[in-house]
Structure 1
Amino acid sequence: MTLASTHDALLLDLDGTVWEGGRAVTHAVETLSELDLPRLYVTNNASKAPSVVAQQLNDLGLSTRDADVITSAQAAIMLCAQQIPAGAKVLVLGTESFRVLAEAAGFNVVSSADDKPVAVLHGHNPETGWAQLSEAALAIRAGARYFASNVDSTLPMERGLHIGNGSMVAAVTHATGVVPQVAGKPEPAMFHLAARSIGAKCPLAVGDRLDTDIAGGVAAGMDTLQVITGVSGHWDTIAAPPEWRATYLAADMRALHAEPADLAPHPEAGFSARMSGADIVLEGGHDGADAMAALRTVLSVAWHSDTAFSGTVVAGSPVADTAISSWR
């Protein structure tokens, strides 16, 4: 029995999980290609149309239809449509593909606060600057409702973490005092929408980022797999509050072929962990025991509490010291 075989679909994050800036994450494409399991790509990146994302995945060797991609832009438009009537004026702060999706949903898309939009839809666009942010702020101050596709503070790219949509949203909120309604992860709506679209009853949400991918899956009541290939590292994971804690943890996507019990927090590979004051001491470890075995052992103690662990992890053996030194 493998982790993949115990679920009926995969709900996959993209940035930091499948690719970084369009470059495939190690082992992601090969592993997914080996699986005969329905999958949907659930991404907080609202800058690209589903068709563009699908084509990029096809270019990587992953057979993907447009309908296999759900973006936070789509989720934001659906959230807006629940509150704003069709035909209403909306100001879209985002890429052209976001505006096209909003128009297809029946909204009258405008670009100036002078047009008196009743809502502002805010998604990531690398070209967004002071002028566009100011139009959004003016519209919101005039009474427009504020919707954000997502509030990721950073965006993983090949060179590192770039400014994310959440950092742009923070500027508008700081200027207006208005906090937007958020459609994307960590809200559960995208996960529920994805599961319904393929009739999945027991999906597995897979992602790299604790505060969006994992928190969203947890909020949706789904099993989650955290892969340490993107934003959140080992130390972030140890300090995670309960609402950010994944069901399973692994170095990369190859874990989908592993036994589920092997991926849950538990003592393994000869390691043991114990509390010592406010800290955790990691001891033992077989020769060659890896960083993930050490992490899952530590988590069996760190996550025992309903509050986030705030201490540090101390090595109590040479093998433990080597494992901890490799954490990020």
Structure 2
Amino acid sequence: MVTESNISKRTLICDLDGVLWRGDEAISGSAAAIAKLRAAEFKVIFISNNSYSTPETICAKLTDFGVPAQSSDLLTSASAAAAMMQGQSSAQGHKKCRAMVLGGPGLRQALVDAGVDVFEPKKAGAVVPDAVVAGFDPEFDFAAVDEAARAIRSGARFIATNRDPTYPVPGGVVPGAGALVAAIAVASGCEPEVAGKPEAPTVELTRQRIEGYAVVVGDRPSTDGALAESLGIDFALVLSGVTSAIPVLGGESIPDPAPRWVSEDLAALVPHLLEISDSIG
């Protein structure tokens, strides 16, 4: 929110997958783009629906790609899911919650740091967890779907980190967390509460970080664009991820009406953002 005290400040809310990199390949010019925006005094918040990696791993990857970062610069769907579980614990008189987790080390670490007792589906035994929390997991299999669905049908809360159907990698896309979550939803007969973009848990965590003028930069209108809309701020769409001028299966198309800016990549977007920065003063 722009107030009298922060009117000259700027916040860039920047997606990672499809904006700074595709899988393990950096998107050309993205590191230099972040450096230019930081030099123009943009506060940069890196936001991701990908819950797989820990903050330490993400920061190391950013640094390796020429973008120095600290954990305090990050906001992921894993941290949003952890905040949801903390809220559940508080509502239950600060009772320690147990969660069956289908996801990577980033999701497990976020939940443990939030005081949640986590375990994998194969270690569930006869105990019904307080929640099933599902995110991106390349080791996802039939047994995991079965255990998760059984727990949900027995009364466990169903939380999904996000519902992104695909994930951009060099040369195309692979199934995202949304594809895995859909299997659990069908098998359990229950729809999940969603932690990540563009849902309320991430909207509120993002709102707390914004100072002055703010813009969301992302490659997916259905999540990044919707997040910007919920926050009441500008959205800049880049075509370096899942969205293209000519839609492809598994991707997204440019919305009609289009967002304020549509650029080939982050580097091409920078001049427009610097123009806004100069107008703020």
Superposed, 1:1-328 pairs within 5 Å as: 8-35=10-37, 36=39, 37-84=42-89, 85=92, 86-111=95-120, 112=124, 114-197=126-209, 199-236=210-247, 240=255, 245-259=258-272
Query: Unaligned regions of 5+ residues in structure 2, if any?
Result: 1-7, 277-281
Measure how far apart 1:192 and its partner are. 3.8
Deviation of the 1:83 alpha carbon: 2.6
Alpha-carbon distance in 1 for matches of 2:139, 2:270: 41
Q: Say whether the 8 Å CA contact 1:88–1:108 is kept in structure 2.
A: yes
Q: Which runs of 5+ in 1 are unaligned?
A: 1-5, 264-328
Q: Residues of 1 paired with 2:137 and 2:193: CA distance?
A: 18
| Aligned residues of 1:113 and 1:135 also touching (Cα < 8 A) | no
Shift of 1:47: 0.4
SS of the aligned residue for 2:144 comes to helix
1:146-195 Cα deviation digits (max 9, x unpaired): 00000000011113210110001110111111000001012254244234
Q: TM-score, normalised by structure 1?
A: 0.72
- What is the letter of the counterpart of residue 211 of structure 1? S
Aligned to 1:257, the other structure's residue is in SS state helix
Q: 1:214 to 1:26 in 2, by over 3 A?
A: same
Matched with 1:305 is none
For 2:191 and 2:59, locate their aligned partners in 1 and report how far apart those are by CA, in whole Å: 32
The answer to which structure, 1 or 2, has the higher relative contact order (CA under 8 A, 6+ apart) is 2
Counterpart of 1:292 in structure 2 is none
Retained in 2: the 8 A contact 1:188–1:216?
no
Instruction: Report deviation, 1:260.
Output: 6.3
**What CA distance in whole angstroms lies between the structure 1 residues aligned with 2:100 and 2:243?**
33
CA distance in 1, matches of 2:216, 2:173: 23
Q: Which amino acid aligns with 1:246?
A: P
Return closer, same or farther for 1:241/1:171 CA change in 2, 3 Å cut-off. Answer: farther
Structure 2 residue identity aligned to 1:65: Q
Percent of residue pairs identical: 32
3-state secondary structure, aligned to 1:120? strand
1:261 Cα deviation from its structure 2 partner: 12
In the superposition, relative to structure 1, how do residues 195 and 64 fare at CA in structure 2: closer, same or farther (>3 Å)? farther
Partner of 2:12, secondary structure, is: strand
Identify if the C-alpha distance between structure 1 residues 16 and 78 changes in structure 2 by more than 3 Å, giving closer, same or farther.
same
Measure how far apart 1:75 and its partner are: 0.5
The question of whether the paired residues in 2 share the 8 Å contact of 1:90 and 1:119 is answered with yes
Q: Spell out, residue by residue over 1:112-144, the C-alpha distance to the aligned partner (whole angstroms, 9 max, x if none).
A: 162210111111111111111211111001010
User: Alpha carbons of 1:261 and 1:14: their partners in 2 closer, same or farther (altered >3 Å)?
Assistant: closer
1:39: how far off?
0.5
**Distance in 2 separating the partners of 1:249 and 1:7:** 23
Q: How many residues align?
A: 256
Q: Using the TM superposition, name which of 16-25 and 250-259 deviates more.
A: 250-259
What secondary structure, in the 3-state scheme, does the structure 2 residue paired with 1:87 have? Answer: coil
Residue identity opposite 2:260 in structure 1: T
